[in-house]
Structure 1
Amino acid sequence: MSKAMPPRTRKMKQLFTVSGVLVGVTAITSSYLWWNTDVLGADSFCGGRLNSADVRAALDSTGRLGQAQSHLDPGLPEYTCTVERTSRFVGGKDQQLTVKTSSEQGAFPFTTSVWKSPATRSYFTNGLTGAVSDSGGYVVLPKACWDKVGALQGNRVVRAGKGAVAAVEATVTQGRADRTGLARLLAHSAQQIARKAGCANPGTDRAPGLGAPAARRTTDVQSVCGLRGFALPEAAVLVGRAEPDAEQINTATAHTWACDLQLAGSARASMSFTATTDGIFAHAALSGPTRFQKLPSHRGETAPGQAVLHCRDNDVYFAARWNSAYEGALLESVHHSAANYAKIKRNAFQNFLNATASRYACPSVDLP
């Protein structure tokens, strides 16, 4: 028969047990706070270029922020900064946010493969030229900065050359960005860079407002992108490979209209159409390296897949872009005839202009 434990010994054992539990809980809590929050974390990153509060707001996840890479010269406005958010707990997504100055050419958000799907973006609504998506965003710096701010390549500052457009760009990998937070981070970064480069203007101090894109819907083949009378040329519809299926239209801002058209079929093809009254892009397009051809009667200028029309109130920039999958399928369908390939794309863009020009009080034009 076991001997009963004296009361004092029993109390001591209970005390040690409780103390052990408290130590364990404290250790777990401390570990959680260290690895899954920013308690006692850095206030800024990359020499003060990015504020930690802005970074936290831009990344839609939990975890601890830490600087991953930094390329900058304290005396120059250009930089590249990568911050990562890491979580050691189940359910946390490791993310990276890279913010950099860039030197682009032409109407870059609507003509390059880097910036896909213009209709999915939330465009700035308050005078700043920019947009954000779930995976990144951009803001264009004031024109006074275009010849003063470039991009970093290694330790060198480079500019895109003729018609260079200075911008701040952000990319988010793994997980999604918080669009409102990312827009605020880009606006604050643009303000800081413009001040450092000596080219700030009052417009760079505005807080960004955002327009939200609409949901996807089924395409009406006789009114593609909701535009009455807009249909793709018969030769542009590749039966079984690329046929109109679904579309997403963005009309949330007064200055930019965009439509992403998803095509059903084996090619996994898509195309996008854009129109914007933002004068920055009309100017950038005509100032860049792409050769534009003047249209008769001073109606505007055009290049493959692009046009700047002189409309009643202002110049309007129009663009059409096809993804590489569609371009490859189209080229195969015309047996690699460059002339027929260019003609089909030109006719598709012509149909788009015919359906949209009157919305902006633009002249009707015939593409050369």
Structure 2
Amino acid sequence: MPTKPGQQSPRRPRRRMRAATLALATVAGTLTGLHLWLNTNAFGDSTLCGGAVATEEAEAVLTGPGRISDRPGPRRAPADGETGFDCIIERSAAGLPGSKTGRLHVQGTRERGDFAFTGGRWPDPSTVSFFPGGGVAPGRAWVQLPAACTDRQAGVAEAYAEVGADPAKLVRLLTDTANRISGRAGCAQGEPLSAPDRIAPAAPQRPATADSVCGLPGFTLPAVARETFQDAGSTWSCGTAAGEGAEQAYATFSATQDPAVIAGIRKSEGFTGQGFDATHTVTECSGKPTYFAMEPGPRYTESLGAGAPAPRDLFTAFTKAAEAGFGCAKPAAAR
């Protein structure tokens, strides 16, 4: 029907409504896209840290909202050949009240093959949950690269995360990273490294038994009151403590038959065939190469002038007591 002069066509409001709806949809789409870009990792790269780390694995470790980004770590230009890198991965959410930035430090380094048992920047091995080719402690983990990647020192993929980070997810990230960097360096093994099906929880400290410290019959340490005992099958470690409240570390004793660790040890600079020194040795036990180590603690060092045995003698007592458990044909201490 014709529209009378001065009367508005009924089609015009419909057109305006459609235009307004389209405008709102456009704004909503823009806001949605902005949210996806700022607060999720949609449309992001599939790898980080120059291709060393899978973004999907980093997302699994850094839970919560936010976009994943990466930047060079403090070492920036590591001199570790093709397997070396240093990278900070962050996940932050924009405009979300109460959100915080999650941070993950991942790097490829080189260490002496027995690095996990020698202290320094590495945690006390008695507090570590070991698995074949690696270990995990609260807030950190590492995976050893294949033996072909060892050149004077063993290749290692390691990560530092928040203490509450899921250890299994952290280990999966590092296993994938180790495969990536060993592959591009041309030192990968035939079958790729695989993450363990299960990671045993860290053991709590317990009272020490006077005549079988660390569960070794005949091994006695009169000053020791508490111990932390870890047994992952191929790797064994025991930290001992003494003093008021049993807080002062006396010594940590370790042993491993892990083939990946043994291979890294044997190819490391300074290895003589029997070990590195008098308290870091390798011997044959039931046909298996077995590494033994002892790291003295503050209490033991302080007690050396008050009748404590010399480090080599204490190490000999430890390895002699450990022979039965590992089936060694002869004392493991260096002669």
Whether the 8 Å contact between 1:110 and 1:274 is mirrored in structure 2 is yes
| Residue 194 (structure 2) aligned to one of 193, 197, 206 | 206
Question: 2:255 — aligned with what?
Answer: 275
Q: How far apart, in 2, do the equivalents of 1:187 and 1:284 lie?
A: 17
- The number of residues matched between the two structures is 300
Whether the 8 Å contact between 2:82 and 2:181 is mirrored in structure 1 is no
String of CA shifts for 1:212-239, please: whole Å, max 9, x gaps.
035314222322222222222x4xx3xx
Q: TM-score, length-normalised on structure 2? A: 0.74
Whether the 8 Å contact between 1:93 and 1:175 is mirrored in structure 2 is no
Measure how far apart 1:304 and its partner are: 3.2
Measure how far apart 1:32 and its partner are: 8.3
Whether the 8 Å contact between 1:213 and 1:250 is mirrored in structure 2 is no
**Matching of residue 219 in structure 1 with residue 226 in structure 2:** no
Measure how far apart 1:179 and its partner are: 1.0
| CA pair 330-261 structure 1, distance change in 2 beyond 3 A | closer
Q: What runs of 5+ residues in structure 1 fail to find an aligned partner?
A: 1-25, 148-162, 238-242, 295-299
Whether the 8 Å contact between 2:168 and 2:199 is mirrored in structure 1 is no
Q: How far apart, in 1, do the equivalents of 2:289 and 2:155 lie?
A: 21
Whether the 8 Å contact between 2:240 and 2:252 is mirrored in structure 1 is yes
Structure 2 SS opposite 1:47: helix
String of CA shifts for 1:303-355, please: whole Å, max 9, x gaps.
232221122221111112234xx1xx4444445x9xx77x4333332222122
The residue type equivalent to 1:45 in the other structure is: L
Measure how far apart 1:164 and its partner are: 1.6
Q: How far apart, in 1, do the equivalents of 2:155 and 2:169 lie?
A: 22
**Matching of residue 83 in structure 1 with residue 89 in structure 2:** yes
Whether the 8 Å contact between 1:59 and 1:178 is mirrored in structure 2 is no
The residue type equivalent to 1:194 in the other structure is: S
Q: TM-score, length-normalised on structure 1? A: 0.68
**Matching of residue 318 in structure 1 with residue 292 in structure 2:** yes
Question: 2:23 — aligned with what?
Answer: none
String of CA shifts for 1:32-78, please: whole Å, max 9, x gaps.
877765455554322332222101223466654321326479x9443
Whether the 8 Å contact between 1:54 and 1:185 is mirrored in structure 2 is yes
Structure 1 SS opposite 2:310: helix
| Residue 305 (structure 1) aligned to one of 271, 279, 293 | 279
- The CA RMSD over aligned residues, in Å, is 3.6
Whether the 8 Å contact between 1:58 and 1:178 is mirrored in structure 2 is yes
Q: Mean Cα displacement is larger for which, 269-278 or 31-40? A: 31-40
Measure how far apart 1:171 and its partner are: 1.9
String of CA shifts for 1:128-170, please: whole Å, max 9, x gaps.
x1122222122111122223xxxxxxxxxxxxxxx32122122
**Matching of residue 259 in structure 1 with residue 238 in structure 2:** yes
Q: How far apart, in 2, do the equivalents of 1:263 and 1:65 lie?
A: 45
Measure how far apart 1:251 and its partner are: 2.0
Q: How far apart, in 1, do the equivalents of 2:163 and 2:202 lie?
A: 21
Q: How far apart, in 2, do the equivalents of 1:320 and 1:46 lie?
A: 36
Q: What runs of 5+ residues in structure 2 fail to find an aligned partner?
A: 1-28
Whether the 8 Å contact between 1:301 and 1:307 is mirrored in structure 2 is yes
